[in-house]
Structure 1
Amino acid sequence: MQLADEDTLRLNVLATTALAIRIDEKTMCVEALTEHQTHRIELKPTGHPDRYLRAVRENLSVLALGTPGGYPVFIRRWTRTGALETERLAGLLRLGEAEAVVAVAASPNLDDELARRAWWCLPTAEVARLMLSHPDVANGSIGPELSQFLLDHLPFEDTSRSIIDTVKLLLCSRLLNEEESGRLRARAENHVACMVGFLSAGPNYLCATQAASRFDTESGNDALMEQLLQHAGSPQGQTFLRCAQQALEKAIDMDTVVDTLNALGDYGKPLRGETVLPRSAQDLLQIVESLTNSSGTALDSDEVAANQSAKNPDRQSALITLSLCGEPLVAPFFAKSDAVGSLMRKKLEPVLEPVFAALETLMKQN
């Protein structure tokens, strides 16, 4: 379809100065972001609106990228992994195509300025999450705005996946103040997906900052098992374990189960080394027995720490059990079942029994 001569001329002028372009399909308007202001033109369709908009995007594609045909939205899944070429990211923001904006947001080469333009083009929760996952963006000028948007939008999220990812990003970006973190923490007490977001972020975020020291297993590796045992018995560790237990007891779908298990596995990850994660409760118990028997001073090269750890064999085995948790443990179940809610939890009981037993052991008083 041919564009009206007036629209062709105005689009050509608009594209020469535009940093980003978006299209309002309802009002049939094209808006452009420039260095100092925004410009808006009303289209004069000469045919069916959908076909006319397609022609507009094809025209913008030629002007921005030098290629006809518009943005290839059929490669949506690929571009959202960040696998798109990044040489012409700025040009993608001048196509007036939502999927092109998402591709830019997912690019590993995204910077603060491109993020600002992408946010002007498509201010959605998905784009905010993609961009806030970039440290340069989170620490840049647009970071606080993205964080505030996600925090305000959180009550309207309706899937566990989006809630978990949003909460984890908000916490790890460190852009929330104490009051906002407190409100988010209070919400997590009654919302399992929100709680799993806290667990995914790590033990450091479940307690008020001033009430707990930061958990770090990278330091003190000469006494790794003893360090983990001490943390598991600390108020911060007990809170983490209690919340993980509650999350599994109240899990509502696959995402809440898998992400909780992944969080537990990350908690004790240094203990498992290169061990392949088990895919059944039986495999889990066998690997735990093997690692417990062979661990000895391997995890605590410091002799004093090794002797101290040896006094708690049950707790040591429980920590190793948690370190082996992860998606593979429940993958065979979810490959054959789409159960959710209480039915899912009931069917998962045999698989998760060793995990619950380990949590109970670690939450007992020393």
Structure 2
Amino acid sequence: MQLAHEDNLRLNVLFAQPVQAIRIDESNLTLYALTPKGEAKIRLNPTTRDEQYLRWIREWLSLKVTGSPGGYPVFLRRWTRTGHARNNLEQMLLLGEPEAIVAVVHNPELSHDLARRAWWAYPNADTARRLLEKSVVVQGELGKELVAYLIEFLPFEEVALDIVDTVRLCLQGELLDGSEREKLWNRAKRKNAFYVGFLHADAAHIPLPVPAHPLAVSIRESLSELLAANNPFANVLEHTLSEGGQKWLQALLLALDKPTDQEVVISLFRAIQKRFNVPFPEARGVTIEVALMRADEYCQGVGTPEALVEVLQVLPREYQEYLRSILVLAQLGEDSLNPIFGGSDAVGSVMRKHLEPLTKMIQQAAKALLGK
């Protein structure tokens, strides 16, 4: 490893002070450092091929930071991107290796300060999304900066599932105000994936003029004791008929209108599974035929979970059709798509044709709960 004398000198001077993060611009052969005093930069002077010289620079950084020239094992890409890296996070930010920064970003124990450094070191849309998955970032100053970046980048986002994630993450807490959420919602008219992002977020953020169900108050009164006892089936019925629940169902109908991508449809079904999260003795994600059969059996007292029996005992019979529709939706999930997507890579209108038997029943259940 033979670094240029001036580079070696400048690097040693740089590390004579506290360094918070390192970023290397390979195209311009420039090393940037984040320090308590601000940003410093070193223009590199290669003594060999650029690629080899950058490898030597990273070996120097690794030796300086960790005592070993081995650097960060980039072949561990998948493992570290699932948050399993338990290295010293501060050291990993100093290696000048993008994959090491990615591993830091995926770590669930990330602090706001380390998140700020990681964002400086590797600012791109995926880094922003992964950082916004951390509550400490959402609640801190960095959160709004990341959201502003993602909103500005959205028109250039080509991957539909990344649009879903971006919308979902930007809608957390108060990162966007009401007018900004409405602008985001209006984009959904051109790209279906935006609707799915809203389905994953707080229903209160869906800017639709949809009131609570006309029978919401009456049914809530019938379920008052069970709601006080935190009965899960009573909770989901009351929640679905509320203003937020009705907005969510209307957004679901819009999302089901013209999906174009399998990954987005899978995300949509994950949102359904999360929304109607009630305790069933069987696994979630059954076929629509099984969901319809079980919903009928449960309402008739066949294998009915005890908490559901309690609801059926106090809910007037004329309101039980609403509960049945919820029971249908509550049994669906990502695995409901296996018979349709298994072995098929269809997209667009062909995919929608295959999905029609499933989506039609979901639309019927949603419309029944909306009183349509």
Contact between 2:231 and 2:307, CA under 8 Å: does it hold in 1? no
Report the 3-state secondary structure (helix = DSSP H, G, I; strand = E; otherwise coil) of the residue aligned with 1:38: strand
Matches within 5 A, 1:96-115: 96-115=96-115
Rounded to whole Å, the distance in 2 between the matches of 1:133 and 1:279 is 29
Rounded to whole Å, the distance in 2 between the matches of 1:202 and 1:324 is 21
Report the 3-state secondary structure (helix = DSSP H, G, I; strand = E; otherwise coil) of the residue aligned with 1:299: helix
Moved more, 56-65 or 1-10: 1-10
Which of 306, 328, 340 aligns to 2:347? It is: 340
Quickly say closer, same or farther: Cα 1:237–1:92, change in 2 above 3 A: same
Rounded to whole Å, the distance in 2 between the matches of 1:299 and 1:16 is 67
Rounded to whole Å, the distance in 2 between the matches of 1:221 and 1:261 is 29
Contact between 1:292 and 1:320, CA under 8 Å: does it hold in 2? no
User: How many residues of Structure 1 are paired with residues of Structure 2 in the alignment?
Assistant: 358
How far 1:50 sits from its partner (Å)? 0.9
Report the 3-state secondary structure (helix = DSSP H, G, I; strand = E; otherwise coil) of the residue aligned with 1:22: strand
Q: Residue deviations 1:16-38, cap 9 Å, x none? A: 43111111111111111111122
Contact between 2:85 and 2:103, CA under 8 Å: does it hold in 1? yes
Contact between 1:92 and 1:100, CA under 8 Å: does it hold in 2? yes
Rounded to whole Å, the distance in 1 between the matches of 2:35 and 2:158 is 35
Matches within 5 A, 1:252-291: 252-270=260-278, 272-291=279-298
Contact between 2:182 and 2:207, CA under 8 Å: does it hold in 1? no
Rounded to whole Å, the distance in 2 between the matches of 1:16 and 1:135 is 34
Quickly say closer, same or farther: Cα 1:11–1:291, change in 2 above 3 A: farther
Rounded to whole Å, the distance in 2 between the matches of 1:315 and 1:210 is 18
Rounded to whole Å, the distance in 2 between the matches of 1:28 and 1:143 is 31
Report the 3-state secondary structure (helix = DSSP H, G, I; strand = E; otherwise coil) of the residue aligned with 1:32: strand
Matches within 5 A, 1:119-268: 119-207=119-207, 220-222=228-230, 224-268=232-276
Report the 3-state secondary structure (helix = DSSP H, G, I; strand = E; otherwise coil) of the residue aligned with 1:31: strand
Alignment-derived partner of residue 30 in structure 1: 31
> Percent identity of the aligned residues?
38
Contact between 1:220 and 1:227, CA under 8 Å: does it hold in 2? no
Matches within 5 A, 1:2-151: 2-17=2-17, 18-86=19-87, 88-151=88-151
Moved more, 292-301 or 28-37: 292-301
* Amino acid corresponding to residue 171 of structure 1 in structure 2: L
Moved more, 237-246 or 76-85: 237-246
Contact between 2:196 and 2:255, CA under 8 Å: does it hold in 1? yes
* Amino acid corresponding to residue 355 of structure 1 in structure 2: I
Quickly say closer, same or farther: Cα 1:222–1:90, change in 2 above 3 A: closer
How far 1:140 sits from its partner (Å)? 1.5
Return the TM-score normalized by structure 2: 0.87
Quickly say closer, same or farther: Cα 1:222–1:49, change in 2 above 3 A: closer
Rounded to whole Å, the distance in 1 between the matches of 2:209 and 2:21 is 40
Rounded to whole Å, the distance in 2 between the matches of 1:191 and 1:204 is 21
Q: Gapped runs of 5+ residues in structure 2?
A: 213-222
Rounded to whole Å, the distance in 2 between the matches of 1:219 and 1:49 is 67
Which of 303, 307, 313 aligns to 2:314? It is: 307
Rounded to whole Å, the distance in 2 between the matches of 1:189 and 1:103 is 36
How far 1:300 sits from its partner (Å)? 6.6
1:298 matched to 2:317? The reply is no
1:320 matched to 2:327? The reply is yes
How far 1:206 sits from its partner (Å)? 1.1
Rounded to whole Å, the distance in 2 between the matches of 1:81 and 1:107 is 8
Quickly say closer, same or farther: Cα 1:206–1:59, change in 2 above 3 A: same
Rounded to whole Å, the distance in 2 between the matches of 1:47 and 1:296 is 72
Quickly say closer, same or farther: Cα 1:15–1:293, change in 2 above 3 A: farther
Report the 3-state secondary structure (helix = DSSP H, G, I; strand = E; otherwise coil) of the residue aligned with 1:336: coil
Report the 3-state secondary structure (helix = DSSP H, G, I; strand = E; otherwise coil) of the residue aligned with 1:39: strand
Report the 3-state secondary structure (helix = DSSP H, G, I; strand = E; otherwise coil) of the residue aligned with 1:69: coil
Rounded to whole Å, the distance in 2 between the matches of 1:192 and 1:220 is 38
* Amino acid corresponding to residue 118 of structure 1 in structure 2: A
* Amino acid corresponding to residue 272 of structure 2 in structure 1: L
Rounded to whole Å, the distance in 2 between the matches of 1:113 and 1:236 is 35
Alignment-derived partner of residue 364 in structure 1: 371
How far 1:183 sits from its partner (Å)? 1.1
Report the 3-state secondary structure (helix = DSSP H, G, I; strand = E; otherwise coil) of the residue aligned with 2:342: helix
Quickly say closer, same or farther: Cα 1:133–1:210, change in 2 above 3 A: farther
Contact between 2:3 and 2:57, CA under 8 Å: does it hold in 1? yes
Rounded to whole Å, the distance in 2 between the matches of 1:211 and 1:356 is 19
Contact between 1:281 and 1:352, CA under 8 Å: does it hold in 2? no
Q: Gapped runs of 5+ residues in structure 1?
A: none
Rounded to whole Å, the distance in 2 between the matches of 1:203 and 1:178 is 13
Structural RMSD (CA)? 2.7
Contact between 2:23 and 2:121, CA under 8 Å: does it hold in 1? yes
Contact between 1:82 and 1:106, CA under 8 Å: does it hold in 2? yes
Moved more, 116-125 or 260-269: 260-269
Report the 3-state secondary structure (helix = DSSP H, G, I; strand = E; otherwise coil) of the residue aligned with 1:249: coil
Rounded to whole Å, the distance in 1 between the matches of 2:332 and 2:104 is 34
How far 1:230 sits from its partner (Å)? 4.5
Rounded to whole Å, the distance in 1 between the matches of 2:257 and 2:26 is 46
